[in-house]
Amino acid sequence: MFEILKKKELNSTVTWMEIKAPMVARKAEPGQFIILRTDENGERIPLTIADYDRDKGTVTIIFQVVGATTEKLNHMQEGDFLQDFVGPLGKATHTEGLKKVAVVGGGVGCAIALPVAKKLHSLGCEVHAIIGFRSRDLVILEKEFEQNSSLIKKMSDDGSWGEKGLVTDALRALIEAGETYDEIITIGPLIMMKFVCQLAKEHGIKVIASMNPIMIDGTGMCGGCRLSVGGKTVFACVDGPDFDGSLIDFDEAMERNSMYRNFERHKHEETCNLYKQEAR
């Protein structure tokens, strides 16, 4: 059993939790993920490791409430215990030897981008962080990005925070102003990553995208997390989650990710109604 030590709300739909998981914390690296279950009858869901503390034996997760399990998880409190917390899984993001990198995050994907930026910054890499949200109300981890980047560009769809526009607008402006990068690392909604990767490809810059497709077992056996990269089938849980963004078939990935959207919405509403009934 894995204790929830701390919990806080980052915005109306995103929650931060610190979990006691010493064996996971001992091996965790940026880019890797865990699979958890809230209870013995719960489904398995993957969540990227947002931070870790080897000395304290803790792992931080940040999640958006979108389905039944994240709704259940969000109702758990400090002192409660998770049934399972398995990891670290997947391959760590490559950070060694990079001198200058643009880290591009969107929405709750910024929770995954932050540990990458933090690790690069600690290695002496010049980090240009480009982070985007729909509006000011949805911003998370602003101070943390400021502390772990040499330059930060803040973008919002409606202009209520930072500059109005998309992360690709900021990235294009930096490249056209003469900034050169060893690599661009992008993490966020699939449609955002698709266009970040297209822009990088236009300018001949290596680009890495962190993929989070449908996932069940986390060992490559179920095949649920398959992607097409460079015309070959790969599995995000064991071959990734990081891949060469110029080779990913994003259209296929978006189509597969939407397969269970209606089912997920229905189960989320069902779970919300159960909590409402219990509260009466």
pLDDT at 276: 61
End-to-end alpha carbon distance in the chain = 30
> Pairing state of beta strands 81-82 and 84-89?
unpaired
Residues 55 and 156 both lie in one domain: no
**Tokens matching residue 160:** 């209520």
Residue 17 lies in a domain: yes
Q: What is the pTM of this model?
A: 0.88
Residues 204 and 107 both lie in one domain: yes
Residue 106 lies in a domain: yes
Task: Give the position of tokens 């930026």.
Answer: 117
> Pairing state of beta strands 100-106 and 14-20?
unpaired
Q: Is residue 107 within 8 Å of 189, Cβ to Cβ? A: yes
Percentages helix, strand, coil for the chain (3-state, rounded to 5) are 35, 30, 35
Residue 155 lies in a domain: yes
Cα-Cα-Cα-Cα torsion 238, 262, 16, 158, nearest 10 degrees, comes to 110
Sign of CA dihedral 17, 19, 24, 25: positive
Number of domains in the chain: 2
Angstrom distance (rounded) from CA 25 to CA 47: 14
pLDDT per residue as tens, the chain (280 positions): 899 999 999 998 999 999 999 999 999 999 999 999 999 988 899 999 999 999 999 999 999 998 888 999 999 999 999 999 999 999 999 999 999 999 999 999 999 999 999 999 999 999 999 999 999 999 999 999 999 999 999 999 999 999 999 999 999 999 999 999 999 999 999 999 999 999 999 999 999 999 987 777 777 778 888 999 999 999 998 999 999 999 999 999 999 887 666 656 655 566 656 656 665 5
Residues 104 and 206 both lie in one domain: yes
Q: Which uninterrupted H or E stretch holds 117?
A: helix 110-122
> Pairing state of beta strands 232-235 and 226-229?
antiparallel
Residue 264 lies in a domain: no
Q: 121: domain CATH number?
A: 3.40.50.80
Sign of CA dihedral 240, 241, 242, 245: positive
Residue 225 lies in a domain: no
Q: Which structural domain, as residue segments, surrounds residue 141? A: 100-210
